[in-house]
Amino acid sequence: MAKMWAGRTDGALNKEADDFNSSISFDKKMYKEDICGSIAHAAMLAAKGIIGKEDADKITSGLESIFSDIENGALEISSDAEDIHMFIEAELIKRIGDAGKKLHTARSRNDQVALDLRMYLKEKCKIISGLIYNLLNVIADKAEENVGVIMPGYTHLQRAQPILFSHHMLAYAEMFKRDLSRLKDAYKRMNVSPLGSCALAGTTYDTDREMVAVKLGFDGVCSNSMDGVSDRDFCAELLSVFSIIMMHLSRFSEEIIIWTSWEFRFMELSDDFTTGSSIMPQKKNSDMAELIRGKTGRVYGDLMGILTVLKGLPLAYNKDMQEDKEGVFDGAETVEKSLAVFAPMLAGAKVLSENMYEAAKKGFINATDMADYLTKKGMPFRTAYKTVGEIVGKCVKEGKTLEDISLDEYKSISSLFEEDIYNAISLETCVEKRISQGGTGSISVKKQLSELRKYLKNEKGV
């Protein structure tokens, strides 16, 4: 098929080259953005007297009919087309004739594609923002429902100190709050219209770029036409944000995978978020969490992909940039689907609080508190640390916990030990005394929770 850009050449491409050159298989997703962008452009051309009002009206109704035909299935986007921009323009000319040929005045595919991509990704940002917001609500509910549940906190995946399960949940809330703020920030920077940059140098027509930008919901326009068509920072920035969201989801998923193992049994997922094995009848696998952990890798790959595509490109547009879309679409869709699965999976998960408590009782996670007890009674911390270390070693040898040692025995180790030692090292005391700001004591955790609720009330998202 001869190309619309035939002229300088006859436009007939070698078959392999034609397939290689085509981006329709993935940029067809942007048909709505392409049509909206063109309608706004045509309105501006008419307002500035660059094309006649009648032609603009024909263009608008032609584009609207193309849009509804695509939406209702009457018009199929042809896989033979070079890209979505060419497909829609050719279809418009087919429908309205010569007026359609005026649409591309004072515009190039270079600024057109840059516009469409920003518009498409802006919508994705809104969806992802809503999904993060929803997840934050689920986390807040999970934290609230389980205030009082004590579990072991870990460092090096070794039992470290007792914590509240809610405290652990609220740590993730902080991560997703930052993710939302990063997304909003990236959105703000990408929310400027490149249309009117034309091929690279701007245009001799007296256009009104601001008018198009306002019509399409942008905050303003890109200031430099060469940057307008070359900039794909927003793809790299969004993929960085997506990568960090996935990294957080992956860490959370990893914990859920561990917690739902028979060795831990801290959590049980609802049946509709787990799978069985084709051979082992006893299995209940946390596949969704594993998939999220796995899919994190592909989003990182998408980020590396765009950075590498861009790194050697001279200004302005280069066809390499056609490689921007698949990665950023994939990244956005992966984050969207992962968040959409993760939130209800967490919401329906059962917290097995007794198992958590049992695990917290073992492993000497109150040893720090015993050292603090001695320190508060006058022993230098380093000496107390060593003394308690020796007691733990003795317990391990004798198969005992710190609570099992008699007061007489404690007294023979140090005269500072008194009856109140048992209360000082109870899990409840260990948790409740940690009311430093951001600490795990329930007073502090409840404060964090109410801060989160307040945040959720005021947060509008992207």
321 binds ligand ARG (CB under 6 A): yes
Q: How far is the CB of 86 from ligand ARG (least distance, A)?
A: 8
Contacts 24+ apart (CB under 8 A), 263-268: 264/355, 264/359, 265/352, 265/355, 266/151, 266/351, 266/352, 266/355, 266/356, 266/359, 267/349, 267/350, 267/351, 267/352, 268/349, 268/350, 268/352
* Binding span for ligand ARG by CB under 6 A among 109-117, 181-189, 412-420, 425-433: 109-117
Length of the chain: 462
**Known catalytic residue at 197:** no
Applying the rule CB under 6 A, the residues between 23 and 62 that interact with ligand ARG are 23, 27
DSSP 47: H
C-alpha 89/C-alpha 96 separation (Å) is: 10
Q: How far is the CB of 192 from ligand ARG (least distance, A)?
A: 19
Q: Which residue number, 10 or 408, has a Cβ lying nearer to ligand ARG? A: 10
Q: How far is the CB of 365 from ligand ARG (least distance, A)?
A: 56
Nearest Cα to 257, choosing from 291, 298, 232, 231? 291
322 binds ligand ARG (CB under 6 A): yes
Q: Which residue number, 93 or 328, has a Cβ lying nearer to ligand ARG? A: 328
318 binds ligand ARG (CB under 6 A): no
Of 34, 55, 83, 89, the one binding ligand ARG by CB under 6 A: 83
Provide the 3-class DSSP secondary structure of residue 446: helix
Q: How far is the CB of 318 from ligand ARG (least distance, A)?
A: 9
Q: Which residue number, 5 or 381, has a Cβ lying nearer to ligand ARG? A: 5
C-alpha 140/C-alpha 343 separation (Å) is: 11
118 binds ligand ARG (CB under 6 A): no
Instruction: Please calculate the CA angle 389-391-393 and round it to the nearest 5 degrees.
Output: 70
What ranges make up the beta strands (E) of 92-202?
150-155, 158-164, 192-193
CA terminus-to-terminus distance, the chain: 43
Of 176, 317, 364, 417, the one binding ligand ARG by CB under 6 A: 317
Applying the rule CB under 6 A, the residues between 269 and 288 that interact with ligand ARG are none
Q: Which residue number, 23 or 38, has a Cβ lying nearer to ligand ARG? A: 23
225 binds ligand ARG (CB under 6 A): no
Question: Which burial class, exposed, middle or buried, applies to 155 when counting CB atoms under 10 A from its CB (0-12, 13-18, 19+)?
Answer: exposed
Q: Tokens standing for 48?
A: 């500035």
C-alpha 137/C-alpha 129 separation (Å) is: 13
Provide the 3-class DSSP secondary structure of residue 405: coil
328 binds ligand ARG (CB under 6 A): no
Which among 181, 277, 412, 450 is annotated as catalytic? 277
Of 38, 60, 110, 387, the one binding ligand ARG by CB under 6 A: 110
Q: Tokens standing for 134?
A: 């929803």
Q: Which residue number, 147 or 200, has a Cβ lying nearer to ligand ARG? A: 200
Q: Which residue number, 80 or 428, has a Cβ lying nearer to ligand ARG? A: 80
232 binds ligand ARG (CB under 6 A): no
* Binding span for ligand ARG by CB under 6 A among 53-61, 65-73, 105-113, 184-192: 105-113
Of 70, 88, 103, 113, the one binding ligand ARG by CB under 6 A: 113
**Known catalytic residue at 167:** no
Q: How far is the CB of 84 from ligand ARG (least distance, A)?
A: 8
Nearest Cα to 131, choosing from 336, 334, 295, 291? 336
Q: Which run of H or of E encompasses 336?
A: helix 324-347
Q: Which residue number, 109 or 168, has a Cβ lying nearer to ligand ARG? A: 109
Active site residues: 156, 277
Site residues for ligand ARG per CB under 6 A: 23, 27, 83, 109-110, 113, 317, 319, 321-322
